């Protein structure tokens, strides 16, 4: 599996659609500046998605490898993705 070089709007959109379909209609906008390991995205007017680089990478690797072979690990990785990406303000 090829990992993304950058956490960008298309990647966040795919993650939102797969993990939080109730928010897939919200427009996504990258917020600048970013931190060393953090990327911040605005979803609509009321929701922020904060992706911590290392944790996001690790959760994606785990989810990708565990889907179909280890449902417990896949579910855990999906929960971690939710914790990483969603921070309601």
Answer for the pair 84, 52: CB distance below 8 angstroms, yes or no: yes
The whole-angstrom separation of Cα 31 and Cα 50 is 10
pTM flag (> 0.85):
no
Looking at per-residue pLDDT, the higher value among 55 and 14 belongs to 14
Domain positions in the chain: 9-88
Topology at the third CATH level for domain 9-88: Phosphorylase Kinase; domain 1 (3.30.200)
pLDDT digits (tens, 9 = 90+) for 62-87: 888 888 888 888 888 888 888 777 65
């Amino acid at each position: 599996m090829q990992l993304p070089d950058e956490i960008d709007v298309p990647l966040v959109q795919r993650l939102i659609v797969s993990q939080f379909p109730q928010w897939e209609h919200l427009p996504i906008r990258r917020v600048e500046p970013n931190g060393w390991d953090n990327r911040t995205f605005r979803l609509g007017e009321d929701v922020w998605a904060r992706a911590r680089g290392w944790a996001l990478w690790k959760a994606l690797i785990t989810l990708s490898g565990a889907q179909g072979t280890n449902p417990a690990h896949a579910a855990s990785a999906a929960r971690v993705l939710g914790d990483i990406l969603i921070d309601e303000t």
